């Protein structure tokens, strides 16, 4: 069993923020794979279903970003899950828009949601890092992540969420590198990355 956590802030005014791309990702997984309806529990909203015959619980903490760990810990304790069975979908400033990297553990790079989760369940969970780009100036980071995606961003955001959802089963069975590569290739096929661009994959 796995817990897939989408990070974001609750409420309509935050729904289209860059900081909420984690919510967008798990919403699309639930929609595409016919998960049960969302319901309130664990200081968040959950939806349950299966991906590649693996039971998966999706969680959207409703505590605001900097307290996300409270909801994650509550859900993990209920289902008796360790950090290794948790994957967190998060916005990532240090990746170009639409890029995806999956990693276990590591630093939090100032991300308040990750800081909270690490303080509650440890650091050895998987991070599905979803690139939103950096504004280029440190002082603009706060307003950048809490601003809505531009209209011109919507095509790649929708394509990214679709690719994440289509390939989410690979995450559920532990094929992180394949998942990452297939998401990249899906966006590349839609023209968002140059055809010869490095996918970040290492040769077999």
Active site residues per annotation: 19
State the DSSP string of 7-52: ----SGGGTTBGGGHHHHHHHHHHHHTTPPPPEEETTEEEEEEEET
8 A C-beta contact, residue 9 and residue 65: yes
CA–CA separation, 164 and 56 (whole Å): 15
Pick from 75, 96, 99: nearest CA to 87: 75
Length of the chain, in residues: 204
């Amino acid at each position: 069993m796995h817990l897939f956590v989408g990070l974001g802030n609750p409420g309509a005014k935050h729904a289209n923020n860059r900081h909420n791309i984690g919510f967008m990702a798990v919403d699309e997984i639930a929609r595409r794979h016919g998960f049960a309806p969302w319901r309130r529990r664990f200081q968040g909203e959950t939806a349950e279903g299966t991906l590649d015959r693996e039971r998966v619980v999706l969680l959207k903490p409703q505590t605001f970003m900097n307290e996300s760990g409270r909801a994650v810990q509550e859900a993990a304790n209920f289902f008796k899950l360790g950090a290794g069975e948790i994957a967190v979908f998060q916005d990532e400033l240090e990746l170009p828009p639409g890029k995806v990297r999956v990693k276990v553990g590591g630093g939090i790079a100032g991300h308040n949601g990750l800081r909270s989760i690490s303080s509650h369940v440890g650091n050895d969970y998987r991070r599905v890092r979803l690139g939103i780009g950096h504004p280029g100036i440190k002082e603009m980071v706060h307003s950048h992540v809490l601003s809505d995606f531009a209209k011109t961003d919507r095509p790649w955001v929708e394509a990214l969420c679709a690719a994440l959802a289509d390939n989410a089963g690979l995450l559920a069975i532990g094929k992180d590198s394949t998942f990452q590569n297939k998401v990249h290739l899906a966006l590349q096929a839609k023209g968002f990355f140059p055809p010869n661009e490095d996918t970040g994959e290492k040769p077999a």
